[in-house]
Amino acid sequence: MTDQGVTKLQLQLQAFASERDWEQFHTPKNLIMALMGEVGELAEIFQWLTADQAAEVMGDAVKADHVREELADVFGYILRLADVLGVDLEKALLAKITSNDAKYPIEKSRGNAKKYTELK
């Protein structure tokens, strides 16, 4: 997704909130709380599945629709939160990728899940 795509989505979310006079509720704290709730709803879909069942969840049309809806809710709240806080998500993610690349050199991290502080 390009920054233009992210910006366009954020403008749509701004308009949606503005038309309903919801900006007053879209404080960073409230948006984070809403985001946590939506992540919980997404997690609930996978909660009692085995790893194999989770890998196949998109093969079930009803579950796949539910996953897409919850992912969209999570993404929407992330976009809205970033907008309210003035965070350029594309720049922030690119910076994080660069940081992780330095923390997790391929030769030390390939094939294991150790945290960067545990890599020797």
How do residues 23-81 score in pLDDT, each as one tens digit? 999 999 999 999 999 999 999 999 999 999 999 999 999 999 999 999 999 999 999 99
> Residue 1 above 60 pLDDT?
no
pLDDT the model gives residue 61: 98
pLDDT the model gives residue 3: 55
How do residues 84-98 score in pLDDT, each as one tens digit? 999 999 999 999 999
d(CA 76, CA 69): 10
pTM score, two decimals? 0.89
Residue at token pair 């945290």 = 115
